[in-house]
Amino acid sequence: MVYRSISSDPEFPMSIDLQARYRDERLPRYTSYPTAPHFSPAVSDRQYGAWLGSLESGATGSLYLHVPFCRSMCWYCGCHTTITKHDAPIADYLAVLQREIEAVAERLERRLPVRHIHFGGGTPTIMNPDELARLVDLLSARFAIAPEAEIAVEIDPRTLAPAMIAALGRSGVTRASLGVQSFDRVVQRAINRVQTVAQTAAAVDGLRAAGVRGINFDLIYGLPHQTIASCRATVAACLDMRPDRFAVFGYAHVPGFKKHQRMIDEATLPDGVARHAQAEAIADALQAAGYRRIGLDHYAMPSDPMVSAHLDRRLQRNFQGYTTDTSDALLGFGASAIGCLPQGYVQNAVGLGDYAARVGAGTLPTIKGYVLTADDRLRADLIERMMCDFAVDVAAVARRHNADPAAVFRALPRLAALQADGLVDRSGHEVRVADGARHLVRTVASAFDAYLEVPGRTFSRAV
């Protein structure tokens, strides 16, 4: 049998065929467990209301606000967004969003203490500065926002106006996540997102001058025409701006699900081997520049709180990816937004009309959700630790959930095959990702997933 390593570890002993099979497997990103395809209409707006009302007195919360509008469509986009050249639909949507915030707050027993707020999209900065200020004022009135709270906003540097930069600073925004993806002009044209280094640098400089301390960059590998050289060049240009964190994602090509992705010529997409090489080239360049690798796809400077959370095994995973947020409840606002409460998950109506109609009728816009079982909670804990730490003490997690460790191991039939194929090392009760196989951590985490074989689920490649 021929062995060849495509991982960062030349000793990774896996056949080419086996590596290809695991690399091309379609798997969840495990930002939740169970994943969204398992949500069902059995969880209603009334149930969500009851869950809100039963939050314990000491509970803390974090807030996610979805702004589903952009000025133009990037062909790689996997988000829920709508393209508009007009401001009126955005103003109308924000009025509904404010009404939803009021409706949720009314169902809480008290002003929920909040330490994390995230504005996502779409392009949240498509709001005008006054709209942003009104939204933040409403949140401050309805929730007990901690003075040191993290307020994060996703930013499109191509459309970020100076007035909005100033408004972000005045609103107390602490972290900006800037979409960069690739600075290669050939790649940019192929994804319909032309964004210069100068535009990006101006946004970073402006945000820092306005008092936004944390700067995150999002990069993507596996885009059309992308090469190792272009990935390295993009990283080099980014490093001049010294962002605090990077998130590096693989492009998920699912044109059957996201129709605009059909604008991307599949013949120009890198194959699995090339995707992995690009991811590793970016990882090497960032680590050489002093960034610490965190989990599957994050990189941060050593002084970053995400690094200490990672070292102390306190890192968490939620719908935005890796986070230091340890709140008891994540409340999602806006069309398609997902929330997570101690009892389970809820998701809002996805369509803008449906979302507005439900809020307008005086109900919460919940259309589906999931009630967690004891087994789900245990498996969610195992998966989260594996995704964050690349290792998990199964017995320790089982004990936290009052389960028998031997019975838990018996309920993990995929684990033995992954161990035999060299992806997993096992020492007593500890299961860890084998050296050189960290790019396959989603595969290893899937060993704890009881729903993996459910038909009809579409996920992205493992690498």
Interface ranges with ligand SF4 (CB under 6 A): 70, 73-74, 77, 79, 81, 121-123, 156, 179
Query: How would you class 162 by CB atoms within 10 Å of its CB: exposed for 0-12, middle for 13-18, buried for 19 or more?
Result: exposed
d(CA 351, CA 66): 13
Could you please report the per-residue DSSP string of 144-172? EEEEEEEEEEEE-GGG--HHHHHHHHHTT
- Give the tokens for residue 400: 């936290």
Q: Which residues contact 199 (CB under 8 A, 6 or more apart)?
A: 157, 158
Dihedral-angle region of residue 263 (phi above 0 means left; psi in -120 to 50 means alpha; beta otherwise): alpha
CB 75 → ligand SF4: shortest distance, Å? 9
Closest to ligand SF4 by CB, 73 or 201: 73
- β-strand 245-250 against 366-371: which pairing, if any? unpaired
CB 158 → ligand SF4: shortest distance, Å? 8
d(CA 118, CA 65): 6
Closest to ligand SF4 by CB, 77 or 117: 77
CB 447 → ligand SF4: shortest distance, Å? 32
Closest to ligand SF4 by CB, 200 or 446: 200
Which SS3 state, helix, strand or coil, does residue 359 take? helix
Closest to ligand SF4 by CB, 121 or 334: 121
CB 168 → ligand SF4: shortest distance, Å? 17
Closest to ligand SF4 by CB, 122 or 365: 122
Closest to ligand SF4 by CB, 18 or 73: 73
**Residue entry with tokens 């025409």:** 225
- β-strand 113-121 against 144-155: which pairing, if any? parallel
Query: How would you class 357 by CB atoms within 10 Å of its CB: exposed for 0-12, middle for 13-18, buried for 19 or more?
Result: middle
CB 104 → ligand SF4: shortest distance, Å? 24
CB 93 → ligand SF4: shortest distance, Å? 15
Q: What angle do CA 380, 312, 155 make, to 5 degrees?
A: 75
d(CA 75, CA 431): 39
Strand partners, 246: 217, 299
CB 170 → ligand SF4: shortest distance, Å? 24
Query: Taking a C-beta distance cutoff of 8 angstroms, is the pair 119, 63 a contact?
Result: no
CB 119 → ligand SF4: shortest distance, Å? 12
Closest to ligand SF4 by CB, 65 or 444: 65
Closest to ligand SF4 by CB, 66 or 115: 66
